[in-house]
Amino acid sequence: MKRFLALVSFLLFAAACTNQPMDNKNMTSNANTGKEMKSTGAAPSEADIIAKEKAAWDAFKKKDTNAFEKLMTADYVEVVDNGVMDKATSIAGIKDFDLTDVSFSDWKMTPIDKDAVLLTYKATGVKGKYKGADIPPGPYYEASAYVNRNGDWLAIYYQETQSQKMPPPPPSEKKATGSPATAPAKPSDTGADPIANEKIVWDLFKAKNWDGFASLLAPEFVEVEADGVYDKAGSVKGVQGMDASQFELSDWKSLAFDDDAKLVTYTVTMKGAKPEKSYHSTIWVNRGGKWLGFFHNGTPAAAAAGPAKPEMKKM
């Protein structure tokens, strides 16, 4: 969300490039590397979730599909630069990768609610091949959500975004007629439907109601785009140069983490931009009866020329 939901990802928003990225607290840990935590149903520690994530990378590297699958929910989704994948597609893709090395940093776990947590980090120094072609070394912004399923904490969502400077968007088309949009007095009420909530945000963008947009973000809101990581203030600042009329939204899908946390994924298209498409996701949470944006991630589509680079990892 910033471009929230699009800002669309940097997609094309150079405007976002004017923001100052927020540095995650570096909490790199090698404790429990390659080991799975024993799930008891209690809230996991950051070290527990990092261990889970590293175990997934290790299984991916070894092409151990059984170990990999055991770390994921049945309704697991993955968002990468060639679209939104389900669990089966993610697992099937392992055979095409030969990952030899990767380093991690900037680990940070944030509770979503009592049964869900979000883990963000960076992957750098990547070495390996995909279908014989070298994998770009990164850095990559990584995000994974874990949920409590009958006492076991499993990955339900993963998104990867390669760090890069995005080109500016094409010039806006001038409209001959029409009066300036008037910002509504207040945004529409959000609810348990994350798709409807996301569309409310886009209506606020179109109306240039930045205060209304800010009112729909949780205080701890974080946005990840190709050009950096932003807190709530950075996201609100970034959208203020955005021309929402230039974007087309499609491929809406939603997924419930639990009763108080929902995920929406969708595609944003801007004709004439490079790339024209980006893939977005937003986690919405129930805070005291009001649904707020908790996390947003935008990933530019892979270049159309040549074979598209699919998910580097995993989950």
For residue 49, count other CB atoms closer than 10 A to its CB: 21
pTM value surpassing 0.95: no
Give yes or no: residues 152 and 219 share one domain.
no
Query: Is the residue at 184 inside a domain?
Result: no
CA 287/CA 95 separation, integer angstroms:
41
Give yes or no: residues 222 and 293 share one domain.
yes
In 63-96, which positions are buried (b, 16+ CB within 10 angstroms) versus exposed (e)? Answer: eeeeebbebbbeebbbbbbbbbbebeebbebbee
Give yes or no: residues 68 and 147 share one domain.
yes
Query: Is the residue at 247 inside a domain?
Result: yes
Query: Is the residue at 268 inside a domain?
Result: yes
Give yes or no: residues 198 and 147 share one domain.
no
Give yes or no: residues 219 and 145 share one domain.
no
Give yes or no: residues 224 and 287 share one domain.
yes
* Residue that is written with structure tokens 């429990």 in the block: 32
CA 130/CA 63 separation, integer angstroms:
13
Among the candidates 104, 127, 162, a domain finishes at 162
Query: Is the residue at 26 inside a domain?
Result: no
Q: How many Å is the maximal CA-CA distance in the chain? A: 63
Query: Is the residue at 226 inside a domain?
Result: yes
Of the candidates 84, 32, 77, which has an alpha carbon nearest to the alpha carbon of residue 58?
32
Q: What is the CATH number of the domain that holds 202?
A: 3.10.450.50
In terms of residue numbers, what domain contains 280? Answer: 15-21+189-300
Q: How many domains does the chain have?
A: 2
Query: Is the residue at 6 inside a domain?
Result: no
CA 259/CA 237 separation, integer angstroms:
31
Query: Is the residue at 154 inside a domain?
Result: yes
Query: Is the residue at 117 inside a domain?
Result: yes
* pLDDT tens digit at each of 315 positions of the chain: 544 443 343 333 333 333 444 444 333 333 333 334 444 457 899 999 999 999 999 999 999 999 999 999 999 999 999 899 999 999 999 999 999 999 999 999 999 999 999 999 999 999 999 889 999 999 999 999 999 999 999 999 999 999 988 666 555 555 444 444 555 546 789 999 999 999 999 999 999 999 999 999 999 999 999 999 999 999 999 988 888 888 999 999 999 999 999 999 999 998 888 889 999 999 999 999 999 999 999 999 987 644 444 455 554
